[in-house]
Chain A
Amino acid sequence: MVHAAVTGDVMTTPSRSTRDLEFTSWLTAREPALQRTAHLLTGDVHSAQDLVQTTLAKLYLKWERVRNADNIDAYARKALVNEFRTTWRRPLRRVEQIVELVPEEPAPAAPEYDGGHDAVWAFVCSLPPKQRAVVVLRFYEQLTESEIADLMGISIGTVKSQSSRALAALRAQLPDHPEISGEESDR
């Protein structure tokens, strides 16, 4: 029987200073990776920083649980994606950027296809959040479809369909991209 009473089993928790040292050590090593993924998920550096800071705050609060996870980085990545999912699921959330002065000039137009990576990045940013997350996890993080399904709580079929739709859309949007050979891998 798994469920068995264990008398006198006292859980140990680290002191605040120990926790801070451990957390800082992990933070120093792993934050850049979280920042990069967050940047690709959100599409801009400032939103990414906000997403990462919220995720780090939650990890910090949960550190006693997180530190004993089998794979802290995987836990952190899952927390990051969950936080991103929470953000995009807020239907009435108004995304506003507060500026000190009203700009005198109109905002620059979205980048146009220049035959390079900027166009691909603009395409990725135009994807719906869920599809963008699948693309980032699949083609940047190089996770398997199964790992993405597990991380996002969706079926493998959904991962496949989101991924293939994104690829098809990209091919349709960049028909003359000089670097696309037309030959697709089957990964």
Chain B
Amino acid sequence: MTTEDLLTRSLHEVTEHTDYQTTPLATVVRRAGIVRGRRRRTTALAAAAVAAVAVTPTAVWLNHSPDTSSGPTTTLSPTVSSGSATSLTDVPFGHAPGIDYLDGNTYLDMNGGRIKDPALTTATAATPVRDGLLFALPGETPDRADLWIHTTNGDQRLGCGRNRFAISDDGVVSAYWVTDSCNPDSAGKLYDGVNNTMGEGGPGFVRTPAGVMIDPVGIQTEAVVVNAWHGQDPTAELIDIGTGRATPLSALRIVTGSDENNHVVSGEIAGQPAGQVGESAVVDATTGSVRWRTDWQLGQFSADGKYVVGLRSGEGSTDSYAVFDAVTGQKVADFPTWSSGWITQVAWDLDDTLLAVVNDGSDRTAIVRFGRNGLVTRATPVRQKKYASVDVFRLATRP
């Protein structure tokens, strides 16, 4: 008998002499609820921010009074006085983000793992994949990113792409778009896979036409929710990763959020003048019908799909953030005010609290948590910003 045969026989011996308990469906469903509850939904309002950057200032002065005109609202009040909260250090320290994020040159994952790489200092997005850490660096032009993968063998450039990746609700499937050439007329590939990257053992992909840039926003059943940019004109679409067919979400001009379990997406309603912020809607991803609409810009859905975050541009550089019931469209909470500072990114944590990267106006920055109970806490130490164009903290996406 060879060693291989001995191994095979021994392993079969182990399993043949063990009694295994079967799992009732109820247990699977219960466990699914737990998994869903801790889904690693970390995609931020970055979608809205990216989409809105051309038409609205991204700075949000937090002293703006919350808008309570849209129905019953539970205003979240910071535990610190808004008038005196001139410094981030005034905000009491709470618990760390439950989702992955970048802190300078370090990627911190939700399980306590850290990846340190000087290249991450200027990364605009990052997500762990099976072979390493996929990250985006600023490209030659504002609409392009350089996609890289960090592995134990070093960093490898994958090509040109966009600075966002789509992650499924359960964190199993990721999607990203990449082209070999940074030429705007080049064709690309939209990858979609189970904890995969391209290459050996990689996921499937569909080719995308020349001159079209693809922003993956979310994952729905057998499809990737994307914004396909034909020059300056976006089209909200579902791209079937098996066939490559694109089904337009014709009710939307641009899609900003996706919730797989309830089969809904959020985005700006189609037919509105480009460059102006108009109405947004939550749309059934299966039928394309509008479920509800609002004059707020909608972003991502919370981890359990109950809520969706909204952004409203105010006078000058004052913007507001609010939380909406994803089913009814009722506004359920406003972000609290702040005496000085602005938010550059918002993301849902796993427990339905909101995390925001806040700059305090003097190049000091931290991630702040807005709890549903009104508690405002700091989730990270306060850091001094070193590079004007890149935040120290970036809320990451994770499969």
In the complex the two chains form, is B172's CB within 8 Å of A45's CB? Answer: no
Q: How far apart are the CA atoms of A153 and B134 in the complex, in Å? A: 14
Q: How far apart are the CA atoms of A8 and B113 in the complex, in Å? A: 45
Chain B residue nearest to A2 in the complex (CB): B244
In the complex the two chains form, is A117's CB within 8 Å of B194's CB? Answer: no
Within 8 Å of chain A (Cβ to Cβ): is B286? yes
In the complex the two chains form, is B20's CB within 8 Å of A154's CB? Answer: no
Instruction: Identify which of B11, B206, B239 contacts A124 (C-beta below 8 A).
Output: B11
In the complex the two chains form, is B20's CB within 8 Å of A61's CB? Answer: no
Within 8 Å of chain B (Cβ to Cβ): is A101? no
Q: How many residues of A contact B (CB 8 A)?
A: 75
Name the A residues within 8 Å of B220 (CB-CB): 11
Within 8 Å of chain A (Cβ to Cβ): is B32? yes
In the complex the two chains form, is B111's CB within 8 Å of A91's CB? Answer: yes
Q: In the complex where A3-B207, A53-B23, A155-B200 touch, is A181 in contact with B32 (Cβ < 8 A)? A: no
Name the B residues within 8 Å of A120 (CB-CB): 6-7, 10-11
Within 8 Å of chain A (Cβ to Cβ): is B275? no
A6 shortest CB reach to chain B, Å: 5
Within 8 Å of chain A (Cβ to Cβ): is B141? no
Within 8 Å of chain B (Cβ to Cβ): is A78? yes
Within 8 Å of chain B (Cβ to Cβ): is A58? yes
In the complex the two chains form, is B4's CB within 8 Å of A185's CB? Answer: yes
In the complex the two chains form, is A153's CB within 8 Å of B14's CB? Answer: no
| Stretch of B42-50, B245-253, B364-372 contacting A (4+ beta carbons < 8 Å) | B245-253
Instruction: Identify which of B5, B170, B247 contacts A5 (C-beta below 8 A).
Output: B247
In the complex the two chains form, is A27's CB within 8 Å of B28's CB? Answer: yes
Name the B residues within 8 Å of A58 (CB-CB): 32, 35, 170, 172
Within 8 Å of chain B (Cβ to Cβ): is A100? no
In the complex the two chains form, is A40's CB within 8 Å of B11's CB? Answer: yes
Q: In the complex where A62-B168, A171-B3 touch, is A3 in contact with B244 (Cβ < 8 A)? A: yes
In the complex the two chains form, is A60's CB within 8 Å of B32's CB? Answer: yes
Name the B residues within 8 Å of A156 (CB-CB): 200
Question: Which interface residue of A2, A4, A85, A171 has the most chain B CB atoms within 10 A?
Answer: A2
Name the A residues within 8 Å of B131 (CB-CB): 153
Q: How far apart are the CA atoms of A36 and B15 in the complex, in Å? A: 6
In the complex the two chains form, is B209's CB within 8 Å of A1's CB? Answer: yes
Q: 8 Å CB contacts to A: which residues of B15-71?
A: 15, 18, 20-23, 25, 27-29, 31-32, 34-36
Q: How far apart are the CA atoms of A79 and B173 in the complex, in Å? A: 11
In the complex the two chains form, is A121's CB within 8 Å of B196's CB? Answer: no
Contacts beyond the supplied A3-B239, A40-B14, A62-B172: 13 A-B pairs with Cβ under 8 Å? A3-B245, A4-B244, A7-B248, A39-B15, A62-B173, A64-B221, A68-B222, A82-B172, A90-B111, A90-B113, A117-B14, A153-B130, A185-B5
CB pairs A–B below 8 angstroms (7 shown):
A5-B235, A13-B286, A53-B31, A82-B194, A140-B12, A167-B3, A187-B4
Partner-B contacts on A (CB < 8 A): 1-7, 9-11, 13, 20, 23-24, 27-28, 31-32, 35-36, 39-40, 45, 48-49, 52-54, 56-58, 60-62, 64-65, 68, 75, 78-79, 82, 85, 89-93, 117, 120-121, 124, 135-136, 139-140, 142, 149-156, 167, 170-171, 177, 179-181, 183-185, 187
